[in-house]
Every structure is written in structure tokens, then in C-alpha cells.
Amino acid sequence: MLIGTSKGLPGEFLLLFTLLIWVLFFLVYLGNRHNRLNRWCFISGMCFSMGVFKEYLYFTLFPAVMQAWPGWMTEELSLDIYSVLTAVLYYFAMPAALVFGFYFSRMDERRPKLFRWARIGVFVPALLFAIWAQSRVSTTYRKYSQGRSARGMTAAQVCRQILDENGLFQIRIERVAGNLTDHYDPRANVIRLSDTVYNSTSVAAIGVAAHEAGHAVQYAVGYVPIRIRSAVIPISQFGSSLSMPVLLVGLLFNSGFLVQLGIVLFSTVALFQLVTLPVEFNASARALRTLESSYILESDEVKMAGKVLRAAALTYVAALLSSLAQLLRLILLFGRRDRD
């Protein structure tokens, strides 16, 4: 996993934009608090504002707080808050926007029975898909975290060896609290391995550590997809931040141009997740090749590590498919509105 690969938009801009979104949708709500359109517009808008707000918190506010009061805010806590807000964004914002679309198209009046099921159903697929992908990672990791590898090296030792073999002596390895919170931070030149991975000698832990080392090697060799990913990050941040406000404002003011612009902006989220896939798959492939060529793991252990990394890759595939499904729903619901 990659954390903090780009600073993206300035923190002050993210905060100001978040406040503007809050003011806009609060005014929409106050316009008619008893109107269902206004209520669902407010709910979806506030959920999507978390997409901007979480970036400001994680990349601007939390680092400043950690520097000023190191005992109060930790990297683990900041990552936990970031993850929760991300869950709010992806699991509730889009379904809320779709419910708003149902009300806007008067589906509740035209097809009341279908509407009752659809209002509930839009919240289910993304949630079930995410739960399944995450549970697959957890169960696979637990399965191959039992017992030690043949050579008995810890995950931290393996990570250090891979980095040194590639001349990356300047990159530090740190221990971070949590379970599977492992990540590479290119800004700080540090790989952070979680408590369950750092000192573990299991095949699963070694595979995870080697994967993170693979990201560091990607930066060192100038791997093209990771450069593209870094370039897309600010575009994706901008698009995900603006997409729903622009779409909802377009619907409220019956502007086909703004509706289609909102859909185009949302497509940048899917674009970011698309370019993330080769980065993650390549890091895993590098890890497995190194584990085998450096004789860190036996051949059967390399296969086990591969299963762990493939299960982890499913979470990125799930995120991409979920975004594509949401994009398709937006197109079907609103894409032809300017022609109606």
C-alpha cells in the first residue's frame, strides 16, 4: 500500500473548499427542511465533502498536530481516522446521491414498490463487496501467518535485505501499530510495518514486507505507472471533491452541462484506481521474484506468499469495479438528462 505519494492540492485550499461545500449544502437544506430532495441532497453532499476533508486532515492538519503535540496524535490514529472517513465517502455518499436521484426522477411516485427496494438496495452492493474483499485478505493472511518460514528471517529483516540489494540504504524501516497497516511513505523515505508483520517470521508477513519494499524499488527505478499515478493523484482529488457538488447543483438548477461535468469529474476517481492496479500488481510481482531469486523463501513458500498478495490485490480490484459501477449508475440516472 502507498501512503502520501503526493501532497496534491494545498491544505488551505482543501479546507476552504470543504467549508464552502458545507455552507452550500447547509443552505440547500435550510431552503426547505421538509423536502426529501433537499434532505438527500444535503446528506450526499456532506458525505462527499469527507473526500476533501480527509485529505486536509491527513496531509496537513495531522502532521502539524503530531509535530506540536507528539503524544496526542500518532501516525496510527491519523491513519485510522483517514480510513474511517474514506469508508464514509465510498460506502454512504454515492448511495445517498442515488437515492437523491430516485426522488428527483419521481421514482417514489411512478414506481413506489420498486423505489422502496431500490432505496435500500443501492447501499448493499458496495458494502458487501468491500466486506468480502477485506475478509478475503484477513482470512488468507491468517492462514499463512501460522508458523515460521524455513529460513526464519523476520519481515523487517527481509525488507531491509531487499532494500539493500537495490542500493536503497537511505530508506528506513519503522514499526507502526495496527494490523496490516503496512505502507511505504516516499515523502519520508520510510517503510512502516505493522505490529503483526514487523517481527513475524511467517510467510504472510514476509510477503507483505517484500511488497512494500517493491514500492520503494519502483520509485528508485522510475517505474512509469507509479509516475503516472503520482501525476493523477491531484487530478483525482480535485475530481472526487467537485463531482458530487457540481452534479447536485446541476440537478437543482436543471443544468445538463453541470450534470455531465459532474459525471466527468467523478470518472477521475475510477481513473486513479485504474492506474493504481498495475502499481500494486507490479510491486507484488517484484516481491515474489526477489523472495525466490534471493532464496529468502522456499519455492512452496513463495506460492503461499503469492496467495496472500493476490488476496490483497482483490481490494484494489474491488475498489475499481465499485467505482465503475457507481459511474455507470450515474450515467444511466443522469447522463441523458439534458436531452429529456
If residue 176 lies in a helix (H) or strand (E), which one and from where to where?
strand 172-176
pTM (global) more than 0.85: no
pLDDT of residue 48: 75
pLDDT of residue 76: 65
Residue with cell 491544505: 11
- In DSSP notation, 189-202 reads TEEEEEHHHHT--S
Q: How does residue 105 score in pLDDT terms, banded at 50, 70 and 90?
A: low
**What 3-state DSSP class applies to 184?**
strand
| Amino acid found at 210 | A
Task: Please state, in angstroms and rounded to a whole number, the distance separating the CA atoms of residues 86 and 88.
Answer: 5
Q: What is the pLDDT of residues 236-275, one digit of tens each?
A: 878 877 787 788 778 777 787 888 888 888 889 889 989 9
| Amino acid found at 81 | I
Residue with cell 427496494: 117
Q: What is the pLDDT of residues 190-242, one digit of tens each?
A: 999 988 899 999 999 999 999 999 999 999 999 999 989 888 888 887 887 77
Residue with cell 485510522: 80
Q: Check whether 335 has a pLDDT greater than 60.
A: no
CA triplet 76, 78, 83: central angle to 5 degrees?
95
Length of the chain measured in residues: 340
Q: Which residues contact 237 (CB under 8 A, 6 or more apart)?
A: 8, 9, 14, 51, 52, 55
Across 324-334, average pLDDT: 73
Task: Please state, in angstroms and rounded to a whole number, the distance separating the CA atoms of residues 95 and 74.
Answer: 32
Contact status, residue 227 vs residue 204, Cβ threshold 8 Å: no
> Would you give the DSSP letter of residue 2?
B
Catalytic residue (choose from 12, 55, 75, 212): 212
Q: How does residue 46 score in pLDDT terms, banded at 50, 70 and 90?
A: confident
**What 3-state DSSP class applies to 33?**
coil
- Specify whether 212 is catalytic: yes
